Amino acid sequence: MALKMGMQGRLWAVPLALVLLSSSALAQEGTAQTGDAAGSSTPSATAAPASSSSDEGQAGSMISGLSPLIEDVQIVGPWDQDGTKGVWRTVMARDPADPSRSHFFLQQIAGAEGGATLVKTIEITEIGEMGGAVVGYRADEPSSDEPSGLSLFFEIVPRDGEISETYELHVQPDGSYDFGFATN
């Protein structure tokens, strides 16, 4: 992870990240279509049941409930707004109707006593509209001017191209964002 956090940030972010998998946004039971994670052109309506064991536990149950179309989940940085603190989480998933198309979401998750709370989900629609393949992305360190903002840099290979292009995304805790070609 390119993002560097202070020791205190890492100490609470890791346990918080473990709790975050219980968010209903990723584990909606029976509503998501599924398909081959490698990008099959015909997603199936149901997933094959995961093998279960008596010692699978609650975490294993949450993970086995995730759609195979979810390709990437990351904690990419902290945020703090009006005294509420949490982390930014990214989720990238394939479109069930068009597996060659990615959907990219940002989520704000607040730490809460005994768990975490999903505050907001923002889809970055421009990424899905471009087509092509997101081949990587990384978070930049928060700036001193915007310590709760988030900056991500994407490498995207256009559908009709062979060489990746770099894009940047700047997001504020209120959910507003700017997305476009990288300027540096």
Residue pLDDT, tens place only, 101-128: 889 999 999 987 778 999 999 999 999 8
Average pLDDT value over all residues in the chain? 74
Per-residue pLDDT for 167 more than 50? yes
Strands, DSSP E only, in the chain? 70-81, 84-95, 98-112, 115-123, 133-139, 150-157, 165-171, 177-181
- The residue ranking higher by pLDDT, 89 or 19, is 89
Closest to 5 in 3D by CA, of 78, 60, 68: 78
- The residue ranking higher by pLDDT, 50 or 142, is 142
Lowest mean pLDDT among 36-40, 87-91, 136-140: 36-40
Lowest mean pLDDT among 22-31, 72-81, 98-107: 22-31
What integer pLDDT is reported at residue 23 of this predicted model? 38
Q: Is the pTM of this model over 0.85?
A: no
* C-beta of residue 156 within 8 angstroms of C-beta of residue 169: no
- The residue ranking higher by pLDDT, 87 or 44, is 87
One-letter amino acid at 155 equals E
3 state DSSP class of 106? strand
What are the tokens at 155?
A: 């490498």
Give the Cα separation of 63 and 183 in Å (integer).
38
Half-sphere exposure of 20 (CA within 13 A, CB side): 23
